[in-house]
Amino acid sequence: MSVGSMLFYIFVFPGLLFLLLWTFFVFYFARKTLAYLHKRVGPHYNGPAGSLQTVWDIFKLLTKESITPKSADPYLFNIIPIITPIIAALPVILIPWTPLINDGRAILDTEYGVLGLVVLIGVEPFLLFLTGFGSNNKYSFLGGMRILAQMLSMEAPFFLAALSPALLFGTMNLYEIMQNSTWLTSLILLPGAIIYIIAMLGILEQPPFNIPDAEQEIVYGFYTEYAGTNYTLLKFAEFTEILVVSAAAVVLFFGGYRGLFFDSFWWLFLKVALIALIIVAIRASNPRLRLDQMLKFCWSWLTPLAVLNLVWIIFARLYLLGA
């Protein structure tokens, strides 16, 4: 790998610039769709159909003062917002984005792709817990505790569901999983995909599992004390994680960038946008669950179902695909 292409990967695609553009897009997309479902107009004045509004918003946030509370641990408080987006952005090198780069393989084409993805996604919540811990604020701390409880329980079904394609195709290489997938395998993997998406809502703290930053209860959870640049970085990390987790879903279950007639990045993008649409639609129509209800749902329904799903995958591999 030459230095030039390395810099291109880091700063342009699928690195910084791409992630920034994605953040602008998904922020705008969520606001506009939600506004439509709310019977509102949403962003309207800046740019065509208000599309520049989110860009302005993010740059406005960057110009704001970044306040460190007196009682907070200044090092922990300020270093987490730098680490979090980096960790959140790391999994992009494991995902095969487009046929144009690296012969359609991921930048880091490894036999342990699924494992790497699962680990890097799993680290994120602990960093967010540390933001709550470092703020030394009651609401932030409660938010941090909640995120820990939610992650510990939601990661079990999430990982079990993410394992199902690896089990079906007998490989953990994301490129091979993607290349081997057909209409039939997507159908076999559908229960796994549904479990993955439900658990994904929990991992990403999206409604109905937006318990850690429930603003009616604990103000803004672990975000409460953050402002300005730090807040922007944390939000950037959140949107990056949404991209990574939904792109992983598309690669694992729905054939990645492969599509009808031709293979392209835009197929992947379309599928990711559809998942984002599902997230927004759920958000617009469902209230938040209580922490104990979420735990109960997760451990007495979702996790057992995820285990059953593995049984189904093995059955399908043996008898339907005839491995």
Partner 1 sequence: MREKLKEIIGRYDVEYIEDYRSWVKAKLKNKEDLLPLIKELKKAGVKSCSTVSPTDFIDENRIEVNYFLENLNPTKSSKEEEKVNVWLKVDLDRDLQNCEIDSITPIMPSANYHELEAYSTFGVKFRGHPNLRYFLISRDYYGKFPFRKDFDFKEHEKNLIENINAITDEFLEEFEEHEKTIGHEGSRTVLHWGPTHPASGPIRLKVFTNGEIIEKVEPDIGYVWRALENLVERKDFIGAIVAVERICFMDNPNPMICYSEAVEEIAGKEITPFAKYMRVILGETGRIASHLISMGSFFGTMGLQTFLMWCLDVREYFLDVLEDYSGARIATSCIEPGGVRYPLPDPEAWFNEIDKAIKKWEKVKPDIEDIFLKNPLMTKRAKNTGVFTLEDVEEYFLAGPVARASGAKIDVRIDEPYAGYADLEMDYVTCENGDARDRLYIIVKEVDQSIGLIKQAIEKIREGIEKGEMNPSKDHLIKMPKKLPAGESVRRIEWARGEILMHLVTQDKATSPYRLKIKTPSVNHTMMLENLLPGHTLSDIPLLYGSMHICQGDLDR
Residues 39-58 that bind partner 1 (CB under 8 A): 39-40
Q: Is 50 or 255 the residue whose CB approaches partner 1 more closely?
A: 50
Site string for partner 1, 213-232 (x = CB under 8 A): -xxxxxxx------------
Site string for partner 1, 73-112 (x = CB under 8 A): ----------------------------------------
CA distance linking residue 302 with residue 105, whole number of Å: 32
Residues 148, 150, 152, CA angle at the centre, nearest 5°? Answer: 65
Q: How far is CA 147 from CA 21, 30, 123, 209, in A?
A: 27, 23, 12, 10
Is residue 207 involved in binding partner 1 (CB under 8 A)?
yes
Task: With contacts defined by CB under 8 A, name the span among 34-42, 239-247, 249-257, 266-274 that binds partner 1.
Answer: 34-42
Q: Is 129 or 257 the residue whose CB approaches partner 1 more closely?
A: 129
Q: How many residues bind partner 1 (CB under 8 A)?
A: 28
Tokens at 288, concatenated: 């938040």
Would you tell me how many other CB atoms lie within 10 Å of the CB of residue 322? Answer: 6
Least distance CB 40 / partner 1 (angstroms): 6
Q: Which of 101-136 are b and which e, b meaning 16 or more Cβ less than 10 Å from the residue's Cβ?
A: bbebbbbbbbeebbbbbbebbeebbebbbbbbbbbb
CA distance linking residue 150 with residue 194, whole number of Å: 19
CA neighbor of 224 nearest in space, from 214, 211, 233: 214
Q: Is 71 or 182 the residue whose CB approaches partner 1 more closely?
A: 71
Q: Is 223 or 254 the residue whose CB approaches partner 1 more closely?
A: 223
Least distance CB 60 / partner 1 (angstroms): 21
Task: With contacts defined by CB under 8 A, name the span among 79-87, 91-99, 171-179, 210-218 that binds partner 1.
Answer: 210-218
Q: How far is CA 314 from CA 85, 159, 189, 317, in A?
A: 36, 16, 11, 5
* Residue choice 173, 210, 230, 240 for contact with partner 1 (CB under 8 A): 210
Task: With contacts defined by CB under 8 A, name the span among 98-106, 134-142, 153-161, 299-307 that binds partner 1.
Answer: 134-142
Task: With contacts defined by CB under 8 A, name the span among 15-23, 82-90, 162-170, 202-210 that binds partner 1.
Answer: 202-210
Site string for partner 1, 158-197 (x = CB under 8 A): ----------------------------------------
Task: With contacts defined by CB under 8 A, name the span among 12-20, 138-146, 160-168, 251-259 that binds partner 1.
Answer: 138-146
Residue 262 DSSP code: S
CA distance linking residue 66 with residue 64, whole number of Å: 6
Tokens at 138, concatenated: 């009651």
Q: Exposed, middle or buried: residue 285 (CB in 10 Å: 0-12, 13-18, 19+)?
A: exposed
Least distance CB 288 / partner 1 (angstroms): 4
CA distance linking residue 190 with residue 134, whole number of Å: 40
Is residue 142 involved in binding partner 1 (CB under 8 A)?
yes
Is residue 71 involved in binding partner 1 (CB under 8 A)?
no
Those residues whose C-beta lies under 8 Å from the C-beta of residue 22, and which sit 6 or more positions away, are 239, 240, 243
Tokens at 245, concatenated: 């987790």
Residues 242-301 that bind partner 1 (CB under 8 A): 284-293
Least distance CB 220 / partner 1 (angstroms): 8
Tokens at 133, concatenated: 């811990």
Instruction: List interacting residues with partner 1 (CB under 8 A).
Output: 37-40, 138-139, 142, 207-208, 210-211, 214-220, 284-293
